[in-house]
Every structure is written in C-alpha cells, then in structure tokens.
Chain A
Amino acid sequence: MIGALVANFAKRTVLAVQEFTFLLVSSLRHAFTRPRYLVDTLVQMDVIGFGSLPIVLLTGFFTGGVLALQTYRTLSTFGEVGLLGQVVALSMVRELGPVLTALMVAGRNSSGIASEIGSMLVSEQIDAMRALGTDPLRKLVTPRLFATLLTLPLLTVLSDFFGMLGGAVVSTSTARLSSAEYWTSAYQALYFEDVAQGLMKPFIFAVVVALVGCYFGLHTTGGTEGVGRSTTQAVVVACVLILILDFFFTKFLIAIGFF
C-alpha cells in the first residue's frame, strides 16, 4: 500500500519534471521560429513588468529601510555606523533585491498567469485556439516567458536602488549618517561579482515565475474549483522553487569561485 503510494508519487513527480522541461524547451525554441507574437509579448511586459512596479518598489524601499533599522542597532554597539551603506547595498544587491522581487512578482503574476490560462482551458478556449490553427504554447507561454525574462531583471535593479534609498532615508534620519557617507560606503562596497550575481538570479527566477504559472494553468482540471487550486499551487510552488534555486545557485557560484 505504502509502496504503491510512493511509486505513484514518484511517477507523478517525474512526469511533472518531464512536462515542465518540455514546456521550457518548447517556449524557448518558439522565439527562434515564426510566427512570433510580439504584440502579445509587449502586452505581457506591461502586465508583468509595469504592473508589478508599485509593489516591487515598495518592497525594495521598506526592505532596505528595515535592514538599516535593524543593523544600525548592532553596528552602533561597535561604533561602525558608517558601514550601514555597505550592509544595505550588499544585502539588497546580492540577495534581498533579486529574491524578494521575484517572490513579489511570483505572488502577483504566477497566480494571474495560472488563473488566466486555467480559465481558458476549462472554457475550451485553448481547444478553440488549436482548432483555429494556433499553437497555445507559442501564443500564451512564450510571450509570458520572454516578458518576464526582460522585465524581472529591470524590476530587480529598481528594487535594489529603492532598497538602498530606503536604507539612506533611515540612515540619515535615525543614524544621523550623512548622505555622502552612506552612498560612498554603498558604492565602494559593490564589486562586479556582487552586481553580476544579483543580475544573474532574476533570469533564473523569471523562468520559474512564468513557467510555473503556465504549467499549472495548462494542467488545470475540475472546472472553476480547479482554477482556484491551480492558482494557489502556482504561487506556492513558484515561491518555494525561487528560494531553493537561490540557495543552490549561490552555492554553485561559491563552488566555482565566482566570488
């Protein structure tokens, strides 16, 4: 009995990985062959990128601010308040900016993608698309993937900056640090490796955000209740995968001596 359950679970997991890989390869390949749905890609960039801007900026700003607040107390005991800029900059650029931005975008867009595509599936719009000569992966998945690949790194950069800005506001108001001192410390702390890893991670996270939403949307079953289930699963799986991949990618970069 337990053996059968484990076997079924293993089979379902392997099947899911296989289908996800197929989805990834197909959606990347479609970018290099016609037809290409550029208008759909632009629309998705607006929805995913511009639409996520407010929450990403707010997240970045307040994360930087609270980071400065928390570290100020520790640094002040060692008389190293001048390092606040460095701490906020390194934390935001290397880790918090990419991860929190991806989590916010996943929460907003993986769910939206899953519910939109799931609704289309249960109302036979996907079948209608195929009947009318359109490849649903090319029309629905590829634009969302490339829209996220293009906008998530930009959102991350903005989040990083607003995080440092939040830290600057706290540093100048609470820690009585001068603006010049803060920004100089922040700027001098950042090396190429820090910025590079902070900008590589969004590309990996973008694949997760877009494709997890598309995967659960395309595998929706059970009518409207199924759409709700897919939406929830998409967000949970995307967020967990982002955290797991962040850990292993960072470990990989350390292992290869990137920094």
Chain B
Amino acid sequence: MNTRGAATSSSAPEGSALTAPVIELRHVSLAFEEKQVLNDVSFHVTAGETLVLLGVTGSGKSVVLKLILGLLKPDSGQVLIDGQDLVPLSEIQLYPLRQRMGIVFQEGALFDSLSVYENVAYRLREEGAKDEAWIERRVREVLRFVEMEQALEKMPAELSGGMRRRVAIARAIINEPSIMLHDSPTAGLDPVTAHTINLLIAKLRDVQKVSSVVVTHRLADAVVLANFTYSVEKQGLVPVTTDGGAERRAPTQFLVLRDGTVYFWGSTDELTAAQDPYLRKFLV
C-alpha cells in the first residue's frame, strides 16, 4: 500500500508553505550496479522548512542527501537547489551551490589530522580567507554556538561522539548556509547527548532560519524537532504550543522511503494519524 497522506509525487502535502522550494527532487532514480536505490523519487523542501527523512537501513536516505549536495548524480530526474538543476553541472560548477549548503555526516567526518580549530576554519581557508584574526573570531563564534569553544586545540581523536557531531555542525555552519543537511545526527549517541544535538538543530532552524533535511531512524528525534522550538530567552527547547501557537510552529514535513520509493510525504499530524501498518512501525 502506498500511503502518501495528502501527497503524491507531483503535489505538495497539506499544510506545506506555498513558497518556491529551496530543494526539489523531480522523478529521481538511481541504481548502483544491479541494485535500484531510488526509484522515481519526488519531493521538495520550502524555505525555512524541516524535512525529516525516515526509513529503514538501506532505503536510500543518505543517498538522497548526497544527491542534494551533488556528491552523486542520479541516473534520471532532476535535483534543484533554489531552482537550479545540479545534474548537468560539473564538480567545479557545483562549488558555489555547495557554499549555500552545510552537511553534517553521520560520524562527523572530521579531518583526523587537523585540530578542531583547523577543521572548523577549513572552509574559510579554502575560500581564500587570509585574515587570521577574522578567521579566529568566526571559528570561536561558531564553536560557542555549539558549546565547544573549550576544545579549540583538541584533535578529533580526543573527542567523544557527541563532541565530534557538534564540531561537525560548527564546521558546516561557519559560512552561514541557508540549507543544512543532517545524516543521522543522533545515531549511536546516548539520550542526553542526542537531546543536545536536537537542540542545536532546532537552534539552527529557529535562530538562523535555515531549511533542513534531517535523516534519522529515530522518530523520537523527529517528533522533538516537529513539536518543540528553540527559545532564545530560555536557551532551550520549548513546546510550540507555549510559544505562540500554530503560527510559531516550525514547519516540519515527514518523508518515509521504502525500497527506494516515496512511501509517505506529509505533516506530523498526518503521520501520527496514519493507519498503515508500515508507518505504524515508525510510531512505536
């Protein structure tokens, strides 16, 4: 059964903002040798929206992130960022588009041979920044945002899993991207550290107003992102209802992939109300 809430591959789910999408996949298919990883996948993410990508292992979630970043090219279909199709672009032509995006890989993917400071400063140096004082100011600023300023001179091997994720977030946001991609940001972390990461993702969304795609296996994290918002006054997450009601709710959509196809695309309420047995497994 193909349950799509109010969505089909060609129409937006109910409740999604009717603005031009910042990320859009149109009829994307991709196979690795004999295995069809994605099959006619279409969805979009509008400005300021968070899309939570759910699915079992091997359903193609991380592949979607890599397609959005242009690290992989689809066999067919289009991948549009702010209306521009990435597919025909060369690697060099993709760099300006990638400057608008930040990605946090599953294990952080910090560069082993560089310190935390050099990891976070990496993008600035690659873009030609020479003013060391300015670089240091920016690095400290983003490390402060993720509460890791004290680890400036540490090497990645000295950090815990949660600390590496936080530094990876700092590295991804240093050039103030408008789009953030998170690949299983809380995988392998204890609940307390997972909460810290979720708080940072919500903070980025609500304070920096970035559009996000969050890949996760854990519905609990997705529900937190959908039902809580970051309060600058309280320096923490607050339920959306206490923060002003529906108009203050962070727009969140859910996309469930199954065997490389879009199985569900809809809002939090539509997902939680779904009776489909496969979708209910995610809600348990």
Contact = CB atoms under 8 A, between A and B. Distances in A.
Given A133-B95, A133-B98, A135-B91, A128 B111 contact: yes
Contact of B109 (A123, A134, A135): A123
Contact of B105 (A35, A128, A135): A128
B127 A125 contact: no
Given A127-B66, A127-B71, A133 B126 contact: yes
A131 interface: yes
B115 interface: no
B69 interface: yes
A123 B99 CA distance: 22
A133 B69 CA distance: 11
Interface size class of A (residues with CB under 8 A): 10 to 19
Contact of A125 (B99, B102, B109, B123): B109
B205 to A, nearest CB: 19
Contact of B123 (A119, A127, A133): A133
Given A131-B69, A131-B98, A133-B99, A124 B106 contact: yes
Nearest to B103: A131
Interface string A112-144: 000000011001110111111111000000000
B122 interface: yes
A125 B126 contact: no
B112 interface: yes
> Most B CB atoms within 10 A — which of A125, A132, A133, A134?
A132
A173 to B, nearest CB: 46
B126 A132 contact: yes
Contacts of A132: 98, 122-123, 126, 171
Interface residues of B, number: 23
Given A133-B123, A134-B126, A123 B66 contact: no
Contacts, number: 48
B107 A124 contact: yes
A127 B95 contact: no
Contact of B91 (A35, A125, A128, A130): A130
Contacts of B101: 131
Contacts of B111: 125, 128-129
B112 A125 contact: yes
A134 B99 CA distance: 11
Nearest to A126: B109
B280 to A, nearest CB: 32
Interface in A31-50: 35
B100 to A, nearest CB: 11
Nearest to B92: A135
A132 B111 CA distance: 12
Contacts of A130: 69, 71, 91, 98
A135 B112 CA distance: 18
A28 to B, nearest CB: 17
Interface string B86-121: 000001100100110111011101111000000000
A85 to B, nearest CB: 46
Nearest to B171: A132
Given A132-B123, A133-B123, A133-B127, A127 B105 contact: yes
A135 B126 CA distance: 10
A35 B95 CA distance: 14
A231 to B, nearest CB: 16
Nearest to A135: B91
A134 B98 CA distance: 11
A110 to B, nearest CB: 19
Contacts of A135: 91-92
27 contacts: A119-B112, A123-B112, A124-B106, A124-B107, A124-B109, A125-B110, A125-B111, A125-B112, A127-B109, A128-B103, A128-B105, A128-B110, A130-B71, A130-B98, A131-B98, A131-B102, A132-B98, A132-B122, A132-B126, A132-B171, A133-B95, A133-B98, A133-B99, A133-B123, A133-B127, A134-B126, A135-B92
Interface of A: 35, 119-120, 123-125, 127-135
4 closest Cβ contacts across the A-B interface?
A128-B109, A124-B109, A124-B105, A132-B123
Given A132-B123, A133-B126, 19 more contacts: A119-B112, A123-B107, A123-B112, A125-B110, A125-B111, A127-B109, A128-B103, A128-B109, A128-B110, A128-B111, A130-B69, A130-B91, A130-B98, A131-B71, A131-B98, A131-B101, A132-B126, A132-B171, A134-B126
